[in-house]
Amino acid sequence: MKLKVLPLLLLVITSLAAAQVKVTQFEGIDASNDPTPGFTVDPNGAVGTKQYLEWVDQAYQGFDKVTFAPVYSSPQKGFTPFVQNNLTDCESAGGNGIILFDHLASRWIIGLRLGGPSGYYYCIAVSNTDDLTASNFAWYTYELLLNPILGTNAEGKGYFPDYPKIAVWPDAYYVTIDLNDPSKGYSEVGIVACAFDRTNMILGGTARTPQCFRYPQTPSGLFLAHSLLPADIDGTTPPPVGTVESFISIENPTTGTTSASLNLWQMHVDWTTPANSTFTGPTPIPVTTYWPGCYTTRQPSNTYCVSEPTSAATKNRIDSIGDRLLHRFAFRQFPTYQSYLVTHDVQMTTTSQQTGIRWYQLEPSGSTMSVVSSGTISPDTTNFRFVPSVAQDHSGNMAIGYSVSSSKLHPSIAASYLNLPSNSSSTEFLILKGSADAENSPHWGGYNSMTVDPVDDCTFWYVNEYLTTPQTGKSYTWQTRIANFKLTGCQ
């Protein structure tokens, strides 16, 4: 296939333009109605044909796209689909859930880790229809025992499965999981990548055995290619038949503070002859030099640097999650080219920990990928922008949602957009201004999500968290907000 070639472009946005976009928003799940609230919120969700389905760490709720009315009388516990199907291994407490809408099959997907030390499972629920309110609505549910795949460390302790991500590709649902070593402070020492039998799962049939790879085979130290993201499809046009699934990861520096590459990984799954399946990588992708947000080689997992107005008194700072790329690795098939988008937060100067948002557009180049455009969003010198998520509409408009905070700004929700084919400048706009701080926890979610409406293929939907009441002591007062907007020129 002939690929469209764009000039390599690095945009550093230095001024805040007025937003030319109408934002509609409504309240999502809040700590007050979450059946199992905690400090880790991890808000994410997806827009479907008729509803928006939101997840917070251990619960979900659907909302009508037009009226915004909730589908369920109260948020459902995350393991509800598995309880309904008597899948007992997936009925325990768990988290790190991800909700997707499979644009190619028009089905809802919930993937999450469940279980405990005696048995960790990755559990997937696939809906039988696109309508959460249909009288015949049901979940097909599937599980994978992770312990044999995770392996054990030198002391015989099993690795902990952390930060799993799931994505839609034509030949499989692909899942990545971090391996954390309990004997080393739960630091990451490797990853697992698995393919689940999407073909049979969307039909509610018997799924073929998932195919998994671990890297490295024998973990021996800190893994600096942190948290692989599998490519996830936007739009209803699939990639050409036979296109392998790609994964992307950061490359944290081993010395100094800066890096100049990302990592590409690829998985080919052969369901007929599993021995022919392959998992390859890492292949370096050169990018403009970056300093991962809040990153130090002395404490690579300590990325707590985002200030709030109360930080001077409480000494509490929010985690920027700057040591990895952030959910999602968004793919879209255009008529003449393929576009992959990914984001993370980066430190803006050597003298300040202020973070901005770095984005990349990548296209296939032989057996690897290359960056065709990239940019950094940092319209001022004071605000921290962190934990971004990206998507792209069918007209080539890119939208990135993220959190923004500083010593004078309570954690708030913002977004930026630009048109990639025309190499336009970025425009930032505020979705919701927070009015209180998280004073008792550095957790500000490990991810959120920007997705595109499958009906018009134009409207962006975004979910993130904020506060109106100070979160102190042992209290949970976080709230979530769901917003949607459509950019001029997308028809």
Q: 300 near 323, Cβ under 8 Å?
A: yes
Is the pLDDT at 136 greater than 70? The verdict is yes
Query: β-strands 326-333, 229-233: how paired?
Result: parallel
Yes or no: is domain 10-485 CATH 2.60.40? no
Q: How many CB atoms lie within 10 A of CB 150?
A: 20
Is the pLDDT at 444 greater than 60? The verdict is yes
Is the pLDDT at 108 greater than 90? The verdict is yes
Q: How far is CA 263 from the centre of its chain?
A: 17
Q: Can you list the pairs that 322-325 forms with residues at least 24 positions away whose Cβ atoms lie under 8 Å?
A: 322/292, 322/293, 322/294, 322/295, 322/346, 322/347, 322/355, 322/386, 323/226, 323/250, 323/252, 323/292, 323/293, 323/295, 324/226, 324/227, 324/249, 324/250, 325/227, 325/229, 325/248, 325/249, 325/250, 325/262
Which tens digit of pLDDT belongs to each residue from 350-399? Answer: 888 999 999 999 999 888 999 999 999 999 999 999 999 999 999 999 99
Cα 158 to Cα 38: distance, rounded to the nearest angstrom: 25
Indicate the average pLDDT of the chain.
Answer: 93
Cα 301 to Cα 293: distance, rounded to the nearest angstrom: 11
Q: What is the pLDDT of residue 12?
A: 35
pLDDT-derived band at 24 (thresholds 50, 70, 90) equals very high
Task: Indicate the range of 15-24, 109-118, 352-361, 398-407 predicted with least confidence.
Answer: 15-24
Cα 182 to Cα 313: distance, rounded to the nearest angstrom: 33
pTM: 0.95
- What is the average per-residue pLDDT within 12-29? 68
Is the pLDDT at 163 greater than 70? The verdict is yes
Q: What is the pLDDT of residue 52?
A: 98
Is the pLDDT at 183 greater than 90? The verdict is yes
* 276 compared with 21, residue with greater pLDDT: 276
Q: What is the pLDDT of residue 69?
A: 98
Domain map (residue ranges) of the chain = 10-485
**Cα-Cα end-to-end distance for the chain:** 26
Q: How many CB atoms lie within 10 A of CB 157?
A: 12
The torsion angles phi and psi of 259, rounded to 5 degrees, stand at -135, 160
